[in-house]
Structure 1
Amino acid sequence: MNTRDARILVVEDNDTLRRGIALALRESWSDVDDLAAGDAAVERIRDPAVDPYDVIITDLRLPGADGLEVLGAARERDRRTSVLVMTAYGSIETAVGAMRSGAWDFVQKPLDLDQLELRVVRAVDHRRLLHEVTELRAKEAARDVVEQIVGDSPALRSAMDLARRVAPTRSTVLVTGETGTGKELIAGLIHRASSRSDGPLVKVNCAALPETLLESELFGHERG
């Protein structure tokens, strides 16, 4: 059977239900993970080595962390991830609250697997539409930044081409150059052409920070 490409995570502490959902979804989708605990799901979602999920299906009541925390982690990682909340009868109000917090939809237990599959299809299509819109906006914004960069030398064209190629990736980028060569504009081009273009581009003047505070200002600090 042909499967569609999508990364899906199922979070449910009932082993029988979780495995049943995952097994049914694997008949149609190429990449389905399942976890029993909310804290494990939050850790997986936040792991930079793990690609973001297209769809997350989560129960609200979970050990370790509840479904709202799973939803929050997903929204922090990638706001385009579609989160489906599973809820038992009598918890509809909580599910509606989850939707107000950013969930894409909710499904009521006992689950109808055919209806769940239909919602997953819609959620994946919704995610891909958002991705296409984000890419179009990023390209338009990047063109605006390019117009601010004056010059046509081979070195500048090479730098701009590299910036465009690295922007869609999750790679760490270091831009170097003498004062006035356009480092900040190149950084702006990378940001505008990335999937994070709807978020802020935070600028820090490292020269104005004391050496003792530089690392904690950039990377955070924990007591002890």
Structure 2
Amino acid sequence: MVNNTLIVKFDHGCLNPSSSDSLCISKKVNGVYNVVFDNAAPRPAVGQKKLLSNNTFNFTTNYQVYFTQDYSNDALINSATDPKDIGLGQYVEWQDNDLSEAAKADVKLLSTEQAKSSFAVKNAPKSFHVAVKASTGRSWSTIFVDPNEHMGGGTITLTPKNEYILYWYNLADTEYVHEVFEGEAFKFSFPPGDSTRTIRYGYATQDQPADGSESPSFYIVGA
């Protein structure tokens, strides 16, 4: 397990306290970003984090899998089964209308190379979509829902990546499907051996806009 810490700072005057937009974080799984797993807003909704000039988000590489019955963009995710803990190189199986506990996958299910970065769900029914949760410290948050419809009875391989995006969106809830076009978001990752990343939202020269036409952007600190 890796404990990751994301720090997001704002240049002076770049955080609008009247805005209802949320700063959203998504993680890449199976090549896509499609779930908001954490967010905060300058004017938070009930239960939402308040976005400040200096913010810390914590999340880990502990994973769980479960099924959800529906997949719809811009909709809340509804769980159809209890989540099961799972690690890289492991699998769970749909048996007797429930997911089994995780076990080590053999090479027929996950190749030696796949086992380093993936886990699997075996015998998945066609009526469900596989979903993945990650630990965000004291709680769990969904990071991915498989959007694809399958024939049923097969094996679905799930590959979380050390790739994340930040973007602004007008929503107030996690556990929320939102399919993101990568070109509209700021991409980042955690360098090898470093579990902390600091990102600044502001100007090319910190706290100093070039002129009235310069819009704030995201910048990695110390890159």
Larger radius of gyration: 1
TM exceeding 0.5? no
State TM-score, norm by structure 1.
Answer: 0.28
Structure (1 or 2) with the greater helix fraction:
1
Higher relative contact order structure (alpha carbons within 8 Å, sequence separation ≥ 6):
2
State TM-score, norm by structure 2.
Answer: 0.28
Structure (1 or 2) with the greater strand fraction:
2
